[in-house]
Structure 1
Amino acid sequence: MCALNDDIREYTERLREGAVPRAYRGIMSFMSELLRRMSASHPDHAVSALYAGFMDMTYFAITPADLKILNLKVAVVYLHEENRFEVWLGGGNRKIQAEYIKRLSGADIGDYTLSKVSPGVDSILEKRLLEHPNFEDKESLIRRLDNDVTAFIGDMIELMRY
């Protein structure tokens, strides 16, 4: 097991090299822009602040009234270690999340992944959107994510009608 001071030395060296802070700033800048643009293109949806995370995940919620009234939310998630975007259906709290996981366990959920109730799991349903995204082509990436998240939201509204 590494000592904390050893980990901090390694961390400091990586920061001095420059790639890690540049990449992190780039991801945060992109996520802020994505949040701003999706908020503008979906003015009727409730949008949360950006959660930066601890270099594990960064996300924001964008939720239409049809899901919010059910105490559900949609999270646009970037997973740092995996370099992947996902979209999640989440509950307002763990109890609601567990209820929906149970309710959906026998349902036809298409190509979505149903989560399991366990500590640290923050979703009801998940979908991988994009592995190894091209951050250099920001406009295309924003368009694709907006389209994919919009389709997910539509599917979740339909799924909750049953």
Structure 2
Amino acid sequence: MDSLNNHIREYKIQLSKGQIQKAYKGIMTFMSGLSTYMKGSYPGYTVSALYFGYMDMTYFAFTPTDLKIKKLKIAIVYLHEKGIFEVWLAGNNKKIQADYIELMSYKNIGKYKLSQVIPGVDSIIESTLVEKPDFDHAEELKKQITWKTIEFVNDITSILDELQRA
């Protein structure tokens, strides 16, 4: 039987080894540094506070003004279980998310993955930034994530501009 007590017992065993705390702290430190780096590199973007999550995902929003006006945001997401970085186009609320998913379902969005309107999904479009992050080379990783995020923002902006003209 799946009991909370059993989960907590296993949790304590894993914590006693000390690796989880070090890894989690390292990820949070990196994400905080990434947020600061991106904010400094792109002062015209709005950068949100870091959402630490429940060891499922950690993210922050990094949004240019033209998307913010449309009530959209870009999220830089670290998925803990997969150990990867993704970038998401997201809406400010579920209705905006659903409206854009519907609108984009008729559009070729190229290499990007269009999300579905289902519980637990917070994105409109998702893309993997880094599949095997090398945290031991944090400065290079920050540059890689930033560059790929800007590429994503530019592509999304083009897609949205085409939708607006249609």
Taking structure 2 as the reference length, the TM-score comes to 0.96
Q: After superposition, what is the alpha-carbon deviation per residue over 1:10-61, rounded to whole angstroms, capped at 9, x for unaligned?
A: 1011111000110000000000000000011010011100000000000000
Q: Which amino acid aligns with 1:26?
A: G
For residues 16 and 49 of structure 1, the distance between their equivalents in structure 2, rounded to whole angstroms, comes to 30
Aligned counterpart, 1:85: 85
Amino acid aligned to 1:127? S
Quote the residue 2:147 is aligned against: 147
Spell out, residue by residue over 1:95-139, the C-alpha distance to the aligned partner (whole angstroms, 9 max, x if none).
000000000001110100000001111000000111121100101
1:125 partner amino acid: I
Deviation at 1:71, TM superposition (A): 0.3
Partner of 2:42: 42
Alignment of 1:1-162 (within 5 A): 1-162=1-162
Aligned equivalents of 1:30 and 1:127: distance in 2? 20
Q: Any idea what SS the aligned residue of 2:58 has?
A: strand
Q: Which secondary structure state, in structure 1, belongs to the residue aligned with residue 135 of structure 2? A: coil
Aligned Cα root-mean-square deviation (Å): 0.7
Quick one: distance in 2 between partners of 1:71 and 1:160? 13
Instruction: Give the 3-state SS of the residue equivalent to 1:60 in structure 2.
Output: strand
Identity within the alignment, %: 51
Q: How many residues align?
A: 162
**Paired amino acid for 1:24:** Y
Q: Counterpart amino acid of 1:98?
A: A
- Could you tell me which runs of 5 or more consecutive residues in structure 2 were left unpaired when the two chains were aligned: none
